[in-house]
Amino acid sequence: MLVQFVGYLAVAVILGVGGRPSVGEAISVALRAVPTLIGATLLYIVGITLVSFVLGLLVALGSLVAGTAGASLGGVVMLIGLFGVSIWSAVRLSLLVPVIVREGLSNPVAAMRRSWELTGGHTPRLLGFYALLMLGYLAISFMVSLLLITPLSLVFGAGAVTNFLAGVVAGLIGAVSNVLLVAVLVRVHAQLSRATPDGQASLFD
């Protein structure tokens, strides 16, 4: 995960910082920014854990009142609620990487607050946009795997060679998708951080 964080931040530096930094400079900036991203990630995990604990406590209290049937229903409601909170908060904090890199925020709480501020009022549109990106990624990944892995399996058969090549293809797809994801986040951050005349950030203008 540490290497992945460095990669995200380095790509954001290259794409989102002026002056055309070299790869070495981008990695250097990314390494300095990693503690902030790790801190924000840990705070997010702690927050979701606390929400899960509170929801679980409510379900337990409800089961004492409503019995087994109430506990089962409460468990389903808890899972749905936890999923909704996780997705909603993830969208609100989705601009952490460009915020840390482009705005130079080194305090995890400040970075989270800034991302929360930028995405305020745009959460439904961002959620839909990210969902479309995910669907596109899944479709492209499936088609590439189908077009490449199937012929390889016919040539080499089911074995170590095919598994290795499949892993290489999956890794390349993942690497390209991560670069594109960071590029999208940098672009979204640039749009939302640019105030319109009425004082509101404009998305996808």
d(CA 57, CA 48): 14
Q: Tell me the pLDDT of the chain averaged across its residues.
A: 85
Residue 149 lies in a domain: yes
**Global confidence as pTM:** 0.80
Q: If DSSP codes are grouped into helix, strand and coil, which group holds residue 1?
A: coil
pLDDT in tens, 121-163: 899 999 999 999 999 989 988 888 788 777 877 777 777 777 8
Q: In which band, very low, low, confident or very high, does the pLDDT at 93 lie, cut at 50, 70 and 90?
A: very high
The answer as to whether 104 is a domain residue is yes
In the prediction, which pLDDT does 60 show?
78
* Alpha carbon separation from 192 to 92, 93, 100 (Å, rounded): 12, 13, 15
Is 96 part of a structural domain of the chain?
Answer: yes
Residue 202 forms part of a structural domain: no
- Give the pLDDT confidence score for residue 196 in this predicted structure: 40
For the chain, the domain total comes to: 1
- CA 139/CA 123 separation, integer angstroms: 24
- Average pLDDT, integer, range 85-100: 95
Q: Which domain holds residue 178?
A: 2-192
**Residues β-bridged to residue 195:** 201
**126, amino acid identity:** L
Between 23-37, 45-59, 140-154, the lowest mean confidence (pLDDT) is in 140-154
Residue 67 confidence (pLDDT):
66
In the predicted model, what is the mean pLDDT of residues 34-48? 95
Dist CA 51 CA 30 (whole Å): 31
Name the band, by pLDDT with cuts 50, 70 and 90, for residue 69.
low
Angle ∠(39,200,112) on CA atoms, nearest 5: 5
Is residue 64 situated within a structural domain?
Answer: yes
**Paired residues of 201 in beta bridges:** 195
Contact residues for 89 (Cβ-Cβ < 8 A; gap 6+): 44, 47, 48
Sign of the C-alpha dihedral, residues 147, 148, 153, 156?
positive
In a domain, 178, yes or no: yes
pLDDT of residue 203: 46
197 located within any domain: no
Q: Which two tokens stand for residue 75?
A: 């468990």
Radius of gyration of the chain (CA): 21
For residues 50 and 18, the model is more confident at 50
Q: What is the pLDDT of residues 1-24, one digit of tens each?
A: 788 889 989 999 998 776 678 888
Give residue 26's Cα distance to chain centre.
20
Structural domain contains residue 200: no
pLDDT of residue 175: 87
Nearest to 112 by CA among 128, 89, 85: 89
What is the arithmetic mean of pLDDT over 182-195? 88
